[in-house]
Amino acid sequence: MSFSLAWFAAQGIAREDFLERAGFDDTGEVDEYFEEEHSAGELPGGWTVIVTSDVGLLAPDKLAQWSAGGRLVAAVVHEGSMNSLATEWVDGKQVWSLAHDGSEGGDSLEVEGQLPEIFEELKQEAIAAQAESEREGGGVDFVFDIPLDVAADLTGFRHDEMGFDDDIPPFTALERIHIAE
């Protein structure tokens, strides 16, 4: 199964305020595996996460508005085309952005702003794994994971590694109440 989705994690913004800014209402119906078009959950560290199939929500004006008064980390995943992107916004301003375009080759990485310290470590690990993979015949794009791993390091969330347990309640389905501005 390949994923094509976006997720937004807000910290320092009340859950209800974040959902309202993004144009959603919580239905309360459990959505453990992101099967619904939109879902949300809470993570340790005060993060509220929205997972959606609407990648069009990743627009700078929206991210600026949604991050007002807090911190927002967003990611987009297109596993079919091996494209990934992560970005962080704090109080309406973009701090950094990191994107990988799989069509441009295994080591393509577009970087903007002041990246978190973990970036260099993750980049070196991915490049080493990529080189090893190519020596063994290739076929694996490790650089694809760098934006997602940076975002996961900050928030504790990664779309394909969620294991709900007693510490993390399941996500619930969201319904659109208005189109986010």
Quick: pLDDT tens for 42-78.
Answer: 998 999 999 999 988 999 999 999 999 999 999 999 8
pLDDT of res. 166: 55
Give yes or no for a contact between 84 and 144, defined as CB atoms under 8 angstroms apart.
yes
Sheet architecture: strand order including 38-43 = 24-30, 172-176, 38-43, 47-52, 4-11, 71-78, 83-90, 93-101, 110-113
- Domain assignment present for residue 27? The answer is yes
User: Residue 169's pLDDT is what?
Assistant: 75
Mean pLDDT over 15-19 rounds to 96
Q: Over the stretch 74-130, which tens digit does the pLDDT of each residue have?
A: 999 988 788 999 999 999 999 999 999 987 766 789 999 999 999 999 999 998 988
Give the pair of three-digit tokens for residue 4. 């094509």
Residue 84 resides in a domain: yes
Highest mean pLDDT (candidates 9-13, 51-55, 174-178): 9-13
For residue 5, how many other CB atoms are within 10 A of its CB?
Answer: 18
- In terms of Cα–Cα distance, which of 149, 73, 72, 139 is closest to 109? 149
With cut-offs at 50, 70 and 90, classify the pLDDT of residue 141.
confident
> Is 181 a member of any domain?
no
The answer to pTM > 0.75 is yes
Contacts of 129-134 with C-beta under 8 Å, sequence gap 24+, read 130/106, 134/106
Per-residue pLDDT at 139: 73
Q: Compute the mean pLDDT over every residue in the chain, rounded to the nearest whole number.
A: 89
Q: Is residue 107 part of a domain?
A: yes
Domain of 153? 4-176
Which has the higher per-residue pLDDT, 27 or 3? 27
For residue 136, being part of any structural domain is answered with yes
Number of domains into which the chain is organized: 1
- What does the pLDDT read at residue 134? 82
Instruction: Give a yes or no: residue 40 inside a domain.
Output: yes
Q: Indicate whether 52 belongs to any domain.
A: yes
